Amino acid sequence: MATRSTIMDTNSFRAEHADALDSDTRRMTEKRSKVLGESYRLFYRKPVHLVRGEGQYLWDAAGDKYLDVYNNVASIGHCHPAVIEAVTQQMKMLNTHTRYLHENILDYSEALLATTPAAIDRAMYMCTGSEANDLAIRVARAFSGGSGIIVSKEAYHGTSELTSGASPALGSGQPLAPTTRMVMPPDAYRVDAPDLGEWFAGQIQQQIDDMAAHGIKFAGFLADSIFSSDGVLPDPRGFLKRAVEVVHANGGIFIADEVQPGFGRTGDAFWGFGRHDVVPDIITTGKPMGNGIPVSGLLAKSEVLAAFSDSIPYFNTFGGNPVAMAAAQAVLKVITEEGLQEHSRVVGAKLLTELRSLMGRYDCVGDVRGAGLFIGFELVTDRDSKTPDKTLALDLIEKLREHRVLTSVAGPYGNVLKLRPPLAFQESDIDWLVGALDSALRELGR
Buried b (16+ CB within 10 A) or exposed e, 56-70: bbbbeeeeeebbbbb
Query: Which class in CATH covers the domain with range 48-78+340-444?
Result: alpha beta
The whole-angstrom separation of Cα 311 and Cα 305 is 10
The whole-angstrom separation of Cα 316 and Cα 304 is 20
Structural domain spans, the chain? 48-78+340-444, 81-338
The whole-angstrom separation of Cα 269 and Cα 223 is 17
DSSP string, 47-91: ---EEEEEBTEEEETT--EEEESS--SSTT-BT-HHHHHHHHHHH
The whole-angstrom separation of Cα 365 and Cα 357 is 10
pLDDT (tens, 9 = 90+) of the chain, 446 residues, equals: 456 666 666 776 776 777 777 888 888 878 888 888 887 888 888 888 999 999 999 999 999 999 999 999 999 999 999 999 999 999 999 999 999 999 999 999 999 999 999 999 999 999 999 999 999 999 999 999 999 999 999 999 999 999 999 999 998 788 999 999 999 999 999 999 999 999 999 999 999 999 999 999 999 999 999 999 999 999 999 999 999 999 999 999 999 999 999 999 999 999 999 999 999 999 999 999 999 999 999 999 999 999 999 999 998 999 999 999 999 999 999 999 999 999 999 999 999 999 999 999 999 999 999 999 999 999 999 999 999 999 999 999 999 999 999 999 999 999 999 999 999 999 999 999 999 999 999 999 87
Q: What is the DSSP letter of 380?
A: B
pLDDT of residue 41: 80
Q: Which residues contact 209 (CB under 8 A, 6 or more apart)?
A: none
The whole-angstrom separation of Cα 310 and Cα 298 is 16
The residue among 43, 127, 155 whose CA lies nearest residue 412 is 155
Element (DSSP H or E) covering residue 297: strand 296-301
The whole-angstrom separation of Cα 111 and Cα 349 is 28
The residue among 247, 242, 185 whose CA lies nearest residue 219 is 247
Topology of domain 81-338 in CATH is Aspartate Aminotransferase; domain 2 (3.40.640)
Q: Please say whether the beta carbons of 165 and 177 come within 8 A.
A: yes
Buried b (16+ CB within 10 A) or exposed e, 422-445: bbbbeeebbebbbebbbebbeeee
DSSP string, 101-115: --HHHHHHHHHHHTT
Q: Please say whether the beta carbons of 200 and 186 come within 8 A.
A: yes
CA 155 from centroid of its chain's CA atoms: 10
